[in-house]
Amino acid sequence: MIRWLSAVSLLLAGLPAFAEIAGEAPTSEQFGTLGFVLFGILFVAMCVGFVWLVIWNDKRQKAKEGKE
């Protein structure tokens, strides 16, 4: 635990040095519509996957209750 805490404290102490090297943050114009489209596809896919998982677990639970 002490090693972990010392590693985290050293990382936090070194972060300002990396911030100066990184430069300017990207703007929305640099990402364009490709990032927006990819986000939309991933968002919809994860929502559909969640709904499918809920339905699948419900069917499995009902089948388990029917066997008992």
pLDDT band of 4, cuts 50, 70, 90: confident
Q: What are the structure tokens assigned to 23, written together? A: 């430069």
Hey, where are the domains in the chain?
2-67
pLDDT at 56: 94
Residue 16 has pLDDT above 70, yes or no: yes
b/e per residue 15-52 (b: at least 16 CB within 10 A) = eeeeeeeeeeeeeeeeeeeeeeeeeeeeeeeeeeeeee
pLDDT at 44: 97
Tell me: the pLDDT tens digits for 24-41?
766 666 667 788 889 999
Please report, rounded to a whole number, the percentage of residues in the chain having pLDDT higher than 90. 31
pLDDT at 26: 65
